[in-house]
Structure 1
Amino acid sequence: MEEIKFNKSKEVSPLGGLKGGVVIINYGAGNIQSIKFAIQRLGFEAVLSHDEEEIRNADKVIFPGVGEASSAMEMLKSTGLDKVIPTLKQPVLGICLGMQLMCKYCEEGDTKGLNIFDVDVVKFDDREKVPQIGWNQIENLKSDLFKGINEKEYMYLVHSFYVPINEEAIATTTYGIKYASALQEKNFYGVQFHPEKSSKAGAQILKNFLEL
């Protein structure tokens, strides 16, 4: 299992003049450095943290995730943040596995999720090549998260499990079947794709989230 390297610093740089700044949750299962660098390229700063107080005081929270669902959830539980994340009141963005862990249940590893999004995560049909790796289109965009993003814009994805179409979907993608590639429930947002790896359009989505 990957060694968790926590940043205990309490200093959070201002995010567009906002008091609390942005925190990327560091629980040992995230592509945290690439997200931090993407935010820096936008002219903002962020800290990596697993500290509950620091996360609660942030203006924006990013919940990343890379790897296998059950192992990632165990690492999240080891920090106690599985109880904290669903209670957050500020905008929260789950990315890739982070979004999947925010769902009710994931077939991968028979994993109970955080139940923020009332939907299960299931595996692609055997007829499709898995994982889906590479660029694919997003469409049916319904949120300010996609301000300035064109329908059928391309995003970068790497995943073997997906979220079926549901009432919380704010974007869809087709890979054999049409599925939900972004979700929103109140202040919680989730994207299946990697905005930090999706060129200018992905950077715009991150910027939109940071300016919500």
Structure 2
Amino acid sequence: MIAIIDYGMGNLYNVKNALDALGVDSMITSKKEDLQKADKLILPGVGAMQDCMLNLEKSGLKETIIDFVLHQKKPLLGICLGMQALFESSEENGHTKGFGFIKGNVIKMEDTNVRIPHIGWNDLQFVKDMPLKDKFSKAPFVYYVHSYYASDYDKEDLVAYSEYGNMKICGVIMHGHVMGCQFHPEKSAEDGLKILKYFVEEFV
């Protein structure tokens, strides 16, 4: 069972519909007991990092997620804002601490030559050969919606990126049994479904 974490922010039903299209057993839930019993978790998110972490803390889900990842050692996928929450901190709204599952910080996108926020399709470039790369089309394009991006991460954790102006956008990152996508796989057509399928069936 895949549990999609409902903390009041995120494209919950788009993610659920994508998993349904893959024939994956999943649920949208805000109940701690459901998260604890799940095989894997998905943390979606749209909005501001500060609101994200506050909502998770107020609902009591933050500690449940920490226990799931650090003590139960089960897989977690963060999508968009959900991926940013996996890092140590974000400079959005001053400074907000993230989960710290992955080394790195989230900073504001700044480049006067491109439109910000970064909205729309962009190509995804892999930095290493791995099973996930082989599942994508030869020229994968994915859908982004964001104004902040990851920096100062361990290069060994980076799986794939996109270029936007002079910025190198961390598209896919993995560390242990934690995985993040800055883009929205649930909105990224066949390539997006492939990454969700990989998380469900192969990512450990």
Same fold (TM over 0.5): yes
Is 1:163 paired with 2:150?
yes
Q: Which amino acid aligns with 1:175?
A: Y
Q: Distance in 2 between matches of 1:34 and 1:50?
A: 17
- Post-superposition offset of 1:33: 0.6
Equivalent position SS for 2:103: strand
Match of 2:136 among 133, 149, 155: 149
Q: Distance in 2 between matches of 1:115 and 1:122?
A: 15
Equivalent positions of 1:10-89 (< 5 A) are 21-87=1-67, 88=69, 89=73
| Aligned 8 A contact 1:139 1:151 in 2 | no
Equivalent position SS for 2:170: strand
| Aligned 8 A contact 1:147 1:205 in 2 | no
CA RMSD of aligned residues (A): 1.6
Q: Which amino acid aligns with 2:148?
A: F
Consecutive unaligned residues of structure 2, counting only runs of 5 or more, are none
TM-score, normalised with respect to structure 2: 0.88
| Aligned 8 A contact 1:60 1:91 in 2 | yes
- Post-superposition offset of 1:82: 1.8
| Aligned 8 A contact 1:133 1:157 in 2 | yes
- Post-superposition offset of 1:59: 1.1
Deviates more, 1:49-58 or 1:182-191: 49-58
- Post-superposition offset of 1:146: 4.0
Structure with the bigger RCO (C-alpha within 8 Å, sep 6+) is 2
| Aligned 8 A contact 2:85 2:98 in 1 | yes
Consecutive unaligned residues of structure 1, counting only runs of 5 or more, are 1-20
Q: Distance in 1 between matches of 2:172 and 2:21?
A: 23
- Post-superposition offset of 1:81: 1.9
| Aligned 8 A contact 1:140 1:151 in 2 | no
| Aligned 8 A contact 2:126 2:133 in 1 | no
Q: Distance in 1 between matches of 2:125 and 2:138?
A: 5
Equivalent position SS for 1:170: strand
In structure 2, what is the equivalent of residue 116 of structure 1? 101
- Post-superposition offset of 1:169: 1.1
Equivalent positions of 1:193-212 (< 5 A) are 193-212=183-202
Name the structure where helix makes up a greater proportion of residues.
2
In structure 2, what is the equivalent of residue 106 of structure 1? 90
TM-score, normalised with respect to structure 1: 0.85
Deviations 1:93-146 (A, max 9, x none): 100000001110111112111111110000111413110000001112545444
Change in 2 beyond 3 A, CA 1:78/1:161: same
Q: Which amino acid aligns with 2:125?
A: E
Equivalent positions of 1:121-136 (< 5 A) are 121-127=106-112, 128-136=114-122
| Aligned 8 A contact 2:7 2:30 in 1 | yes
Match of 2:170 among 151, 164, 180: 180
Deviates more, 1:92-101 or 1:119-128: 119-128
